[in-house]
Amino acid sequence: MGNGSSKPPRSLELTHNGPGFREYTTLSDMWDKIYHCCTASTFNGNEVLYAEEGLLDEIVTGDFIREAFRISGGQVLEREDSLVRFVVEKSKKIFAAWLATLVTGSGWNFRDCMQKFQDHSIEDVNLPLEKSHEIFSALGWQANDWWPRLFCEERQWMFLVPVISTRSAAKYRYRLPKRTILPLIKVNDIPKDGYKDKGSFGKVLKYKVNTKHFKDEEDLVSPFVAYPRVQAWTNRS
């Protein structure tokens, strides 16, 4: 049926590379693989890393997931295909964010943690999660413990960067959570009303939207935005 091809996308292949497959030795190695492929947002003077749209599809494959489980808890058995498929199809962002969280400590079984997410049907579509979410108590933590705070306040946002569309029902207006990372790269400063760094006019900062996070279905605009930064006027007389 469909396009006539029975071969799934690479990320859906639940393959095994055999006993000799040992590309990584620690979970930190695996997180580094993702981290070093991330892109910097430079909005409003702050530089924050985030995963571009499509990055996790390239990295978080069936083999990558199995390797993480092997490192955290020994041999990966065939019966765990269900958990691997759950991650590949529904929770790559949770997988990556939780990997980024657990590498800051030790003693946690990554496979068991991901199994909890599957048992509670917590998927990427459920993000962002609050510290009070039931999944954290199921994992044995309180809302103000270090791990839920790190996951909720920082790690998950690296993978929740919005794709900006010209067909937005909000007509280019987006209501985004406070911690949202914007996929913007600063281009230059534009003097506002002919002034630069003077009085209350301030500056207008020009940013380019990461093209992987910009969909111009109506072919109406370029992937640039202007951000006014108003500066307080000071009477020096």
Question: What contacts 24+ positions apart, CB below 8 Å, involve 205-208?
Answer: 205/44, 205/229, 207/42, 207/43, 208/184
- As a whole number of angstroms, the distance between CA 64 and CA 51 comes to 17
Average confidence (pLDDT) over 20-40? 86
- As a whole number of angstroms, the distance between CA 97 and CA 48 comes to 15
Q: Are 102 and 110 in contact (CB under 8 A)?
A: yes
Residue type, 137: S
More confident residue, 160 or 198: 160
Q: Are 12 and 89 in contact (CB under 8 A)?
A: yes
Distances (CA, A) of 163 to 92, 168, 184: 17, 10, 11
Helices (H), 3-59: 27-35, 55-59
Element (H, E) at 186: strand 184-191
Element (H, E) at 112: helix 110-119
Share of the chain above pLDDT 90, in %: 42
- Residue matched to tokens 């190695």: 29
What is residue 168's predicted lDDT score, i.e. its pLDDT? 57
Query: Given pLDDT bands bounded at 50, 70 and 90, which one contains residue 78?
Result: low
Reported as a single tens digit per residue, the pLDDT across 182-220 is 898 767 655 544 444 444 455 777 778 888 888 765 555
pTM for the structure as a whole: 0.77
Reference 65, options 12, 101, 7, 121; nearest CA is 12
- As a whole number of angstroms, the distance between CA 111 and CA 68 comes to 8
Question: Exposed/middle/buried for 148, CB within 10 Å: 0-12, 13-18, 19+?
Answer: buried
- As a whole number of angstroms, the distance between CA 208 and CA 171 comes to 19
More confident residue, 158 or 206: 158
Reported as a single tens digit per residue, the pLDDT across 98-144 is 999 988 776 678 898 999 999 999 999 999 999 999 999 998 888 88
- The mean of the pLDDT values for the chain is 77
